[in-house]
Structure 1
């Protein structure tokens, strides 16, 4: 099956372990395909606010002159973890966000407070609607 276009695609010569069945299909392994689909379909990764949060954390790391390796070492994590977060391949949970914010000399409460409200949240917030 092709990972992005043709649901009838069975891969190269009917081999489902790769996909190079059409001229526009690049060979992609099943594991890579699954990772791409997860990344593109997980709601948090599509949220502009989440992407901006991660971009801000990466910018702060760069501002401090800290490499991904140095941040990972400070947190007791592998550099690849930091890389995957910054590339959008791995989503942070709240505890990881707090740890990273503190490692970057940021107040986690301020980091979270700076995230804009979702449009739906603004519509039902009584303070915003004047109710």
Structure 2
């Protein structure tokens, strides 16, 4: 089974989504901070696209949260 479907991966993505919302950012605003299109954010939030570690770290920075904080929540 691909890791995108693992419970832990889905929990991390859910934490990313919540962190974005807690920061008051829309998908469009986050995408702009990342230099990406809104569909990039939408696809990983919906589980249609898998994030690598470097992308995860950049997203956390753009949201303003520590990556370790989301991994240990």
| TM superposition score normalised by structure 2 | 0.90
RMSD: 1.4
Q: Which has a greater percent of helix?
A: 2
Structure 1 residue 63 displacement after superposition: 1.1
By relative contact order (CA 8 Å, sep 6+), the higher-ranking structure is: 2
- Number of corresponding residues: 73
| TM superposition score normalised by structure 1 | 0.52
Structure 1 gap ranges (5+)? 1-40, 116-131
Alignment of 1:6-21 (within 5 A): none
Whose Rg is larger?
1
- What secondary structure, in the 3-state scheme, does the structure 1 residue paired with 2:24 have? coil
Structure 2 gap ranges (5+)? none
Alignment partner of 1:63 out of 22, 27, 36:
22
